[in-house]
């Protein structure tokens, strides 16, 4: 009987409802962040003689894992200097490295490699934030048919994809041949603005053979899809992955310092090629199931990005 009573006293998660479990997790997270984390860090500093940032640099290999852990440590710090470091402009990164070392009382002569490691991490962190800002600005820029540069890029897209067929007019049903919905593509760019066009054009310029091949695939009698519309949809996917931070693993592994717009465009090209391959492997019954398969593809990409060693590139 005593043994049975002891078993009844044991706590199991199943004894609590889902809201209760969430509340317990939230409470534990709060206590760790505001109480226990400080003492854990203090004890480890006394044992190792190094601050958390030093321990991360020593214990993590050069990959996204190190930069992600440094980023989390800086953002979780109570120090305004450390918090501000993740938002520093590129030309002030060195200054913030010096400020952090002063704040944490790190002797550059005792830990000779720390400053360079931290500087590289900060360049990646601040570069990612700047890249998102640049991508967002381009997304917010609407396509304007009165803008000669916008019009030039649109016509260039046609010429790259359809080199043997001349566009008969600016407003024409021919645009449907490369996957736009109507006779004027400008209406299809409303969601992603100029970002949608720039991505399509970049793919056609830098991976011309692949872009034309995928355009041919998109005209398949049974498994075909709207090339340009799907392309703009993939722009939205790339943008959302950048915005929610899922692309950090990819960029922190791929770019040793500051990520540029070119790196974002190349990731879009990777998505375009991978989606075409995925679509034909899945063989959907109809284009009507596009959203379902799009979400399945999205989950595959998110799963790949959870790998700290991942690089998704052509």
The pLDDT tens digits along the chain (314 residues) read 444 444 444 444 455 566 666 676 766 566 556 555 555 555 655 566 578 898 998 877 778 999 999 999 999 888 999 999 999 999 999 999 999 999 999 888 888 889 999 999 999 999 999 999 999 999 999 999 999 999 999 999 999 999 999 999 999 999 999 999 999 999 999 999 999 999 999 999 999 999 999 999 999 999 999 999 999 999 999 999 999 999 999 999 999 999 999 999 999 999 999 999 999 999 999 999 999 999 999 999 999 999 999 999 99
CB 214 within 8 A of CB 203: no
Give me the pLDDT at residue 107, please: 87
Give me the pLDDT at residue 2, please: 45
Write the CA distances from 120 to 94, 117, 218, 307, integer angstroms.
10, 5, 42, 20
Q: Where are the beta strands (DSSP E) in 149-263?
A: none
CB 81 within 8 A of CB 95: no
Whole-angstrom distance, CA of residue 118 vs CA of residue 96: 10
Whole-angstrom distance, CA of residue 200 vs CA of residue 227: 10
- The 3-state DSSP class for residue 1 equals coil
Whole-angstrom distance, CA of residue 188 vs CA of residue 65: 38
Geometric angle at alpha carbon 159, from 155 and 160, rounded to 5°: 115
Q: Hey, what are 240's tokens?
A: 């959302």
CA atoms within 13 A on the CB side of 307: 8
pTM to 2 decimal places: 0.85
Whole-angstrom distance, CA of residue 145 vs CA of residue 149: 9
**Read out DSSP for 99-150?**
HHHHHTT--TTTSTTHHHHHHHHHHHHHHHHHHHHHHHHHHHS---TT-HHH
Report the residue count for the chain: 314
Give me the pLDDT at residue 121, please: 95
Give me the pLDDT at residue 200, please: 98
Give me the pLDDT at residue 47, please: 62
């Amino acid at each position: 009987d005593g043994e049975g009573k002891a078993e009844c006293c044991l706590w199991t998660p199943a004894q609590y409802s889902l809201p209760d479990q969430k509340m317990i997790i939230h409470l534990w997270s709060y206590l760790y962040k505001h109480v226990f984390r400080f003492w854990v860090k203090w004890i480890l500093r006394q044992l190792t003689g190094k601050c958390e940032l030093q321990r991360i640099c020593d214990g993590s290999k050069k990959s996204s894992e190190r930069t992600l852990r440094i980023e989390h440590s800086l953002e979780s710090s109570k120090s305004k200097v450390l918090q501000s470091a993740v938002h520093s402009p590129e030309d002030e990164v060195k200054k913030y490295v010096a400020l952090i070392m002063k704040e944490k009382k790190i002797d550059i002569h005792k830990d000779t490699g720390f400053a360079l490691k931290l500087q590289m991490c900060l360049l990646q962190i601040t570069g990612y934030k700047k890249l998102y800002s640049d991508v967002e600005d381009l997304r917010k820029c609407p396509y304007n048919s009165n803008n000669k540069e916008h019009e030039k890029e649109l016509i260039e897209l046609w010429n790259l994809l359809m080199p043997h067929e001349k566009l008969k007019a600016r407003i024409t049903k021919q645009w449907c041949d490369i996957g736009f919905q109507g006779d004027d593509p400008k209406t299809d760019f409303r969601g992603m603005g100029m970002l949608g066009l720039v991505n399509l054009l970049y793919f056609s310029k830098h991976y011309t053979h692949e872009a034309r091949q995928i355009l041919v695939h998109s005209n398949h009698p049974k498994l075909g899809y709207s090339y340009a519309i799907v392309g703009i949809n993939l722009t939205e996917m790339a943008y959302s992955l950048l915005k929610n931070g899922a692309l950090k693993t990819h960029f922190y592994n791929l770019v040793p310092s500051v990520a540029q717009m070119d790196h974002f465009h190349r990731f879009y090209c990777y998505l375009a090629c991978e989606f075409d391959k995925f679509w034909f492997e899945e063989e959907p019954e109809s284009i009507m199931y596009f959203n379902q398969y799009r979400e399945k593809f999205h989950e595959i990409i998110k799963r790949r990005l959870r790998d700290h060693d991942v690089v998704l590139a052509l």
